Amino acid sequence: MGRRTVHVAVYDTPADWEIGHITAHLRETTFHRPPREGFTVAYVAARPGPVTTMGGMRVQPDLTLAELRPEDSAMLILPGATAWEGDPEMSRFTRAAREFLEAGVPVAAICGATAGLAMEGLLDEREHTSAAAEFLAATGYKGGDHYREADAVTDAESGLITAGPTEPVAFAREILARLEVLEPEVLDAWFRLFSASDAAAYGVLEAAATR
């Protein structure tokens, strides 16, 4: 993939644990052989100035939504946040997600961000998951027939990735697969190690890092 920047949306109280695995491993190149350039992770906010995460970290955005263009990006990632619960400004991020999907650039959303996409109508015709089917049904969206009971889901046609709040590792797995960051065998081992502490998986990762 030519574009090597992944954009992560930040707004009031983004959930730290939902994006920690993916932001670290997009930048990390340990398991790439031959060595491969990692992705640049750029943080995008509605306006200039720092954003404070749910865990209290202050993030200085790299750009604003007004500067964000799908053609400059490999993917837009939307974490969950308390801001998804009724903040009208969040519609600016869902409109950005629409622009990305219409431009053929994938979007990944987890937890409350999936509800935002549902209200924007972006899940009506795309396979998806979330915290629970009832959670999305409460938004009044029309995509219930496309809901899947899974840890994380990638819609094959659009590349839209969704997950619930308890599945940050599966969320990262789908993103790493979509962006072809790791070979399938290495990605499988990565997921087994970080999701289930599978000791056997470490040997696969160690071999990938040294071959």
Beta-carbon neighbour count of residue 176 at 10 Å? 19
Q: Is it the case that residue 75 has pLDDT exceeding 50?
A: yes
What is residue 189's predicted lDDT score, i.e. its pLDDT? 96
What integer best gives the mean pLDDT of the chain? 93
| 150-178 pLDDT tens trace | 999 999 999 999 999 999 999 999 999 99
| 93-125 pLDDT tens trace | 999 999 999 999 999 999 999 999 999 999 999
Contact 97, 91 (CB under 8 A): no
Mean pLDDT of the region 10-16: 94
Contact 178, 198 (CB under 8 A): no
User: C-alpha distances in angstroms, 186 versus 35, 151, 190?
Assistant: 14, 19, 6
Mean pLDDT of the region 57-71: 96
| 120-146 pLDDT tens trace | 999 999 999 999 999 999 999 999 999
